[in-house]
Structure 1
Amino acid sequence: MIDTVTAPDRTISREHRGPRVPTPTYLSSGPQNSVDAAMAALSDAVERTLQEDLAQGMVPTVEQMSVSVVVRPVGSAEDFTAVALLLISYAHTS
Structure 2
Amino acid sequence: MIALFQILVATAICIYGILLLIRLLNKMEKDILESWLGFLKFFLGTFVIGLLGFFAKLSYENRQMAVTESEQIGKYVENAMLNDIESR
What TM-score comes out, normalization by structure 2 length? 0.30
Larger relative contact order (Cα-Cα within 8 Å, sequence gap ≥ 6) = 1
The structure in which a higher percent of residues are strand is: 1
